Structure 1
Amino acid sequence: MSESQAVNHQSDPVKRARLRWRARRGLLENDLILTRFLDAHEESLTDEEVDAFSRLMELSDNTLMDLILARKQPEAEVDLPHVHALLRRLQMA
C-alpha cells in the first residue's frame, strides 16, 4: 500500500476510537485532561500529532502527569519535537 493509499487517522473511525480508548487513564487528572483535549481537538489532529499522542499513551500515569504539568521533560523515545509540541498543547488544555 503506498503512502497516498494509506488510511490516516482522520478518515479511519477505528483508529479514532482506538485513540480515545487509549486516552482513558487510571489517574483521574490525566483522564480529564486527555478527554477534554480530545473533545476539543480530535478532529483536527494531524497524523504526526496522533503519533505523539500515541507515544505519550505508552507512558505510566505518573510520568505522563509529570510531563503534562511540566515537572519533567520528555526523555528517550518521547524526546521528539512533535511530542514536545503536543505536550505544549496539552498543557494549555
Structure 2
Amino acid sequence: MSDKLTGTETRQKRILWRARHRGTKEMDLMLGRYAEENLSAMNADQLNEFEAILDVSDAVLIDWLTGKSPTPEEFQTPMFARIKAQSFLPVDYKKL
C-alpha cells in the first residue's frame, strides 16, 4: 500500500488543520468538531463551501452562529445550518 496521499486527502488534511487552528478556542472546537465528523464524506463542492466558511473571521462567524448578526444569504446553506446546530451540542471534554 502506498503512503502517498491523493490530492483530495491532502486538501482534507489542510482543511482539518485550518478548522482546528482558528485563533479562538470556541471556533477551534466548533469548526474542528464539524470537520472531524464530516470531511471524509464531503465532495469537491462541499469542500469548497466549507473552505469559504473557514475564510470568514472568527468574530463574524460567532455572531452568525449565535444569531447576534444575520447570516448572509450566500451562507444560508444546509452545511452552515448543520454547523450551527452542532456547535451548540455538548462537548466531550475528555477528547480535548
The CA deviation at 1:91 is: 1.1
- Larger proportion of helix: 2
Distance 2:69 2:13 in 1: 29
Distance 2:41 2:26 in 1: 23
Give 1:91's aligned amino acid: K
Q: How does 1:78-93 map to 2 (within 5 A)?
A: 79-80=73-74, 84-93=77-86
Q: Normalization by structure 2: what TM-score?
A: 0.69
Between the two proteins, what is the percent identity of the paired residues? 21
Query: What are the ranges of 5 or more consecutive residues in structure 2 without an aligned counterpart?
Result: 1-5, 87-96
Higher RCO, Cα 8 Å, sep 6+: 1
SS of 1:52 mapped into structure 2: helix
Q: How does 1:1-93 map to 2 (within 5 A)?
A: 12-23=8-19, 24-75=21-72, 79-80=73-74, 84-93=77-86
Alpha-carbon spacing, 1:46–1:68, altered in 2? closer, same or farther (3 Å): farther
Residues 16 and 36, structure 2, Cα contact 8 Å, conserved in 1: no
Number of aligned positions between the proteins? 80
The alignment's C-alpha RMSD in Å is 2.1
The CA deviation at 1:31 is: 0.5
Residue in 2 aligned with 1:4? none
Residues 22 and 58, structure 2, Cα contact 8 Å, conserved in 1: yes
